[in-house]
Amino acid sequence: MLAKILGVLIPSLVGIGVGFFLRWLWAQFQLKSAEKRVSQILEAAMREAETKKREMLLEAKDKLLEERRQLEKEFRERSVELQQNQRRLMQKEDLLDKRMETLDKKEQELEQERRLLKQKAEELQQAKNQILAGFYRQLKTIAGKANLLGTYEVFYGSWNQINEAPQKIEKVTAEDVRRVAAKIFSPRNRTVATLIPEQRAEAGQ
């Protein structure tokens, strides 16, 4: 009886032990497989992460290169524009200097002309003063009055012009003098005389 029981129990225990052992082996196998799969997944994830990292780095590098090219292009354009502005500014400064030089020359010419006009006005006034002084000196004598009466009657149309003579002399302007001088001292009214010394004249004979 005992032998039968033992004959039944021992195979059962052995079967149970073998079953547990097989289950343990299967669990170990599944664990190793899971660990292997996890390791593969991690490796794949790391490879993918590394690939994405390289792609991102390349993309960032390309973007930086593009930005650098764009900045260099803008810098060149700005440099060209700055050079053009500097050339235009220098041209304007040269033109301004020339204009200032021209204005200075014009100012000097105007100042010189003003001085000449002032001198001519003073000379004209001096001439009128001399004519008036001579006119009044003639009025002081009988002979002078007679001479003036005859002169104005013959050359000016009436002796009454003597009364208006001082006012007319004062009204004479530099333009009047230039106009009359251009009319009188023309090449057609010019007379040229040549004086030959007697010794040269005798030598010519």
Lowest mean pLDDT among 2-11, 17-26, 112-121, 192-201: 2-11
- The alpha carbon torsion through 33, 34, 39, 41 (nearest 10 deg) reads 110
State residue 1's pLDDT score.
62
Q: Give the pLDDT score at 93.
A: 87
Distance CA 47, CA 65 (A): 26
pLDDT (0 to 100) of residue 42: 85
> How much is the average pLDDT of 156-178?
88
How does pLDDT run across 7-61, given as a tens digit for each residue? 666 666 666 776 777 777 777 778 888 888 888 888 888 888 888 888 888 888 8
Residue 99 has pLDDT above 70, yes or no: yes
Residue 12, pLDDT score: 67
pLDDT at residue 203 greater than cutoff 60: no
Q: Is the pLDDT of residue 172 over 80?
A: yes
Q: Which residue has the tokens 């105007």?
A: 110
To the nearest 10°, the Cα dihedral for 72, 75, 77, 81? Answer: -170
204 pLDDT more than 60: no
User: For the residues 169-195, what does the mean pLDDT come to?
Assistant: 81
